[in-house]
Amino acid sequence: MAEKIIYAISDSLGETAEAVARATASQYDKEQIEIVRIPYIDSESQIDEIIADAKRGNHVICHTIVSESLRKYLHEKVAEYNIPAVDIMGPVLNAVGTVASTKPRMTAGMVHKLDQEYFKKVEAIEFAVKYDDGKNPSGFEKADVVIIGVSRTSKTPLSMFLAYKKIKAANLPLVPEVPLPEELFKIPAKKIVGLIIDPFKLNNIRSERLRAIGLEDEANYASIERIQSELEYAKAIMRRLHCQVLDVSNKSIEETASLVMQLIDKNRASEGK
């Protein structure tokens, strides 16, 4: 029995067309059906070559071509030569077009671009987890931003929020009794953001935290004297680093993240990225 071919063609990667072709071929387990994926179609001459091969061997074409001009040309050619062909995306685009309030972009590779954005987000989230709470200062160099501040200034939630915006954020708690990692002084000051907070607000936050874990809120961790001492230490470190400082006393995570993202955008613009 002669082998049949399904040409899975696209003006992008062609993964969708190939997946449909393979799913279809699997239904014909007694047939020899080869799947030939041809991605990045961008000219009529490429379509002409495929048409010639399909006509010669009595093969099938399925496609996810988005370009209107190339889709029109392909439709005309398969009709002219009576070649079995399936437009996978066309009917769906038309159906959605009857209910959508906007027109489709008609831009090839949008799924792939979305996939890339998704993986950037996952990578940033994994980064935030790996380099949270100063666990691994070696990540500071690879970070888009390094967030520093005393305990309970929302460094971790801020890092995670930024990660969902595809920004790689590491963070480091500033504790007077804990030596600072040398990596902190090897990165540009513009990559560092220091968080400060009103001592009485921090007192309330820490007291609530202690009660939540079943400890007395009179512990030294929540005392005003300890908090003021920590904040003075943190401010001295920030002055030494010459980094950007944000007061988060009355800011939500979203507001702080917005300011940090503006800073990162400014840094990237100055670097020509």
What residues are designated binding site for ADP? Answer: 149-156
User: How far apart, in whole angstroms, are the C-alpha atoms of residue 217 and residue 222?
Assistant: 6
Which residues have CB under 8 Å from 138's CB, separation 6+? 183
Q: What is the CA radius of gyration of the chain?
A: 29
User: How far apart, in whole angstroms, are the C-alpha atoms of residue 60 and residue 42?
Assistant: 20
Binding-site annotation, residues: 149-156
Q: What residue type is 141 in one-letter code?
A: E
What is the three-class DSSP state of 7? Answer: strand
Q: How far is CA 130 from the centre of its chain?
A: 17
* Contact (CB, 8 A) for 48 and 77: yes
What is the three-class DSSP state of 41? Answer: coil
